[in-house]
Amino acid sequence: MSLDIIPTRFRSQGTALLHDTLMVPIAWALAFWLRFNLDFLPTSFFQEGLRALLIIIPVQLGAFAAFGLYRGIWRFASLPDILRILKAVLVGTAVAMALLFVFTRAAGIPRSVPVIYTILLVMLLGGPRLIYRWMKDHHLYISSGKRVLIVGSGKAGEMLARHILRNKNDAYRPIAFVDDNPRRLGRDIQGLPVAGNCSAIPALVQELDIDLVMLATPAATAVEMRRVVEFCENAGVPFRSVPQLRDLMSGNLQINELREISIEDLLGRDPVSLDWTAIRGALADKTILVTGGGGSIGSELSRQLAQLGPNRLVIFDNCEFNLYQIEMDLMQQYPELELQCHLGDVTDPPSIEDVFLRHRPDLVFHAAAYKHVPLLEHQIRQAVRNNVLGTRNVALAADKYGCSVFILVSTDKAVNPANVMGASKRAAEIFCQNLDAQSKTRFITVRFGNVLGSAGSVIPLFRKQIAEGGPVTVTDPRMERYFMTIPEACQLIMQTVVMGVGGEIFVLDMGEPVKISYLADQMIRLSGKIPGEQIEIKYIGLRPGEKLFEELFHEKERLERTDHEKVLLAHHRKVDWDSLNRTVNDLAHACDAMDAEALKRLMLALVPEHAQHVPKTGLRKQETKVVYINQ
């Protein structure tokens, strides 16, 4: 039978047990030999000594097991282990001598022999353990690099340890692994032991003098990451995540290119389960247009669409730098992709007409939008032009040129909007959902909360403030927001293409809201600073248009579950199409006339739930009314 099928842990314990079993008779024989001044033993003493071993060996081994000599790892033998050996030898010797006295009156055993035996056995058991540790330390870690504890002893952790050891990296010295898999505890991997589970990190940091914790757990969930980070913070030890392991293997990245744990790692969620077969079937070999394709959502959406083999991917954006960046990125990653990038503005109908006439897109993902809440609060004309009229321009072009699907990327701020930005996005939703009834194109809206790390979001702001030494500004300690990673949001947007029949508002399940104060606290800690001591968190009060809590659907929108656990369906409220068209046309005229007061009145008519957040003074009586069919 091959020894490979025996777990390393048991092989190591078996080796230690065999060693200790042999040391007992050796120490006993040496004790007799020393007692008789290294001379030959009289026959009677020799025979009594041999018979005594029949009691001493099992008793002594029982004492070893009772005192936990085989729970430790020789690689980490230290003073506590020597003390356990001393206690086990003393107790074992005392019990064995007592039994010998009961059965044989300890005849033929000089009184000095047990004393000498005890000293020798402690030396024979403890000495090899300490020598083994010294040899391991001297052989593997002769460099003066940082002592590293690796989290995760699976394939990723093993590859990381092997990379450091084989490349003789002087900056790091791997010492041990920790792993929550009980089957791996006690094993040796690349000559390094799995010394405990993740909860043992604080103790191991002190015991092993750890300088750095490396996380090699690519499949870890956000909950697991938060747990490990908490242990590291409690231990006061720096922690880093390794680069992509495939790049490490290929040599594209070096181990010294460690990345900090990001807030996205801690707030991310379990991977989304998607029907990739259906998604690929709906998007492959199609001409796809992404407006706002250079922005945070649009660029990631373009990357994911490029993987699905579209016939042509058309990206439309009004920012030349963003457009250039996504073009270079996609050309490098997907050289076979037919990519067309157009610099233009959704508020410019001829520009939109030209793109649709040239490419005849099958599907449109409309992600172009202004979204900065405090800024747009004083820029209602720009919010309406871009978010309402720009959406109308693209939606009408999609209808005119026979697109099969139009996806509007919306926001939770469109629900009971407290600000101009939210009201403008709600108006865009209303237009698209009611255009669906007049068109052969399927108009679908996807609504979700904040995406982690998007341009203009709070996370880049906090990073900048932390880098500058603070303070980190939070509006209110009670403020909460829903968060989702950009890749997850884009994946679910694509999923709605195969779910929607037209006219729906899909609401992405954002999980539990996160307090912004918690976000600030965690980001400061991830930077290695202490909140309130090294970096201040300053509460500055709500800004114009901000709410303490966001909602994902209106109280009059009937919410339903769908076949996908992360996607909900909100039934929208229908509007009389003629009155809606008149109001949107009036918005366009008010924009041309630079009439901010008229824009406010018209937006209140179109989005009546916005009225509860608008001051009553300063507005004349509404001159336009949009007729809602099902209130």
Q: What is the pLDDT of residues 166-193, one digit of tens each?
A: 766 567 888 888 888 888 887 777 778 8
Query: pLDDT tens digits for 344-371?
Result: 999 999 999 999 999 999 999 999 999 8
Q: Domain boundary at 229, 261, 293, which?
A: 261
Residues 361 and 250 in one domain: no
* 610 compared with 520, residue with greater pLDDT: 520
Q: Is the pLDDT of residue 144 over 80?
A: no
Average confidence (pLDDT) over 230-252: 69
129 and 224 assigned to the same domain: no
HEC string of 22-49 equals HHHHHHHHHHHHHHCCCCCCCHHHHHHH
623 pLDDT more than 60: no
Same domain, 225 and 336: no
Measured between alpha carbons, how far is 388 from 370 in angstroms, rounded to an integer? 10
Provide the CATH number for the domain around residue 560.
3.40.50.720
Mean pLDDT confidence for 475-490? 80
Same domain as 494, residue 407: yes
User: 44 pLDDT band (50/70/90 cuts)?
Assistant: low
Give a yes or no: residue 38 inside a domain: yes
Helix (H) / strand (E) element for 165: namely: helix 155-166
- Cα–Cα distance for residue pair 361/406, rounded to 1 Å: 10
Of 99, 117, 138, the one marking the end of a domain is 138
Higher pLDDT pick, 134 / 473: 473
Residue 622 lies in a domain: no
pLDDT of residue 622: 45
**Which tops the pLDDT comparison, 323 or 260?**
323
Has residue 554 got a pLDDT over 70? no
Tell whether 16 is covered by a domain. Answer: yes
Confidence tier at 262 by pLDDT (50, 70, 90): low
3-state class (DSSP) for residue 571: strand
**What's the rounded mean pLDDT across residues 486-499?**
86
Average pLDDT over residues 432-456: 83
Let me know how many helices (H) and strands (E) the chain has, helices first: 22, 21
**Among 164, 197, 161, 192, which Cα is nearest to 179's?**
197
Task: Give yes or no: residues 383 and 458 share one domain.
Answer: yes
Question: What pLDDT is attached to residue 286?
Answer: 93
pLDDT digits (tens, 9 = 90+) for 310-326: 999 999 999 999 999 99
Once rounded to an integer, what is the mean pLDDT over residues 552-560?
63
Question: Are β-strands 558-561 and 567-571 bridged in parallel, bridged antiparallel, or unpaired?
Answer: antiparallel
More confident residue, 471 or 449: 471
Residue with tokens 């966001």: 550
In a domain, 431, yes or no: yes
Count how many Cα atoms sit within 13 Å of the Cα of residue 519 in the half-sphere of its side chain: 29
Q: How far apart are CA 405 and CA 401, in angstroms?
A: 11
Is 631 within a domain?
no
User: What are phi and psi for residue 411, nearest 5 degrees?
Assistant: -145, 155
Q: Are residues 420 and 342 in the same domain?
A: yes
Do 134 and 149 lie in one domain? The reply is no
Q: Distance between CA atoms of 135 and 195, rounded to whole angstroms? A: 18
Q: What is the pLDDT of residue 10?
A: 45
Residue 219 pLDDT exceeds 50: yes
Task: Give the pLDDT confidence of 368-410 residue by residue, as tens digits.
Answer: 999 888 888 889 999 999 999 999 999 999 999 999 999 999 9
pLDDT above 80 for 502: yes
Residues 298 and 404 in one domain: yes
Residue 362 and residue 447 share a domain? yes
Q: Which helix (H) or strand (E) holds 578?
A: helix 577-592
Query: Is residue 267 pLDDT above 80, yes or no?
Result: no
What pLDDT does 287 receive? 95
| Total domains present in the chain | 3
**Cis bond before residue 471 (omega within 30° of 0):** yes
- Flag whether 619 is in a domain: no
Residues 441 and 298 in one domain: yes
pLDDT of residue 518: 80
First-residue to last-residue Cα distance in the chain: 77
Instruction: Give the highest mean pLDDT range of 3-17, 140-154, 180-194, 241-255.
Output: 180-194
Is residue 620, in this structure, part of any structural domain at all? no
Beta strands in 384-509 (DSSP E): 405-411, 442-448, 450-452, 472-474, 480-481, 483-485, 505-508
Structural domain boundaries, residue 48: 3-138
Is pLDDT larger for residue 11 or for residue 411? 411
Q: Strand, coil or helix: what is 454?
A: coil
- When the pLDDT of each residue in the chain is averaged and rounded to a whole number, the result is 79
Q: What is the pLDDT of residue 80?
A: 65
Is 193 a member of any domain?
A: yes
Could you list the active site residues? 413
Q: Are residues 17 and 97 in the same domain?
A: yes
pLDDT in tens, 156-173: 788 788 777 776 656 788
Q: 220: pLDDT confidence band, cut at 50, 70 and 90?
A: confident
Percent of the chain with pLDDT over 70: 78
Choose one of 109, 138, 167: the last residue of a domain: 138
Clarify whether residues 322 and 374 are in a common domain: yes
Average pLDDT of span 61-71: 77
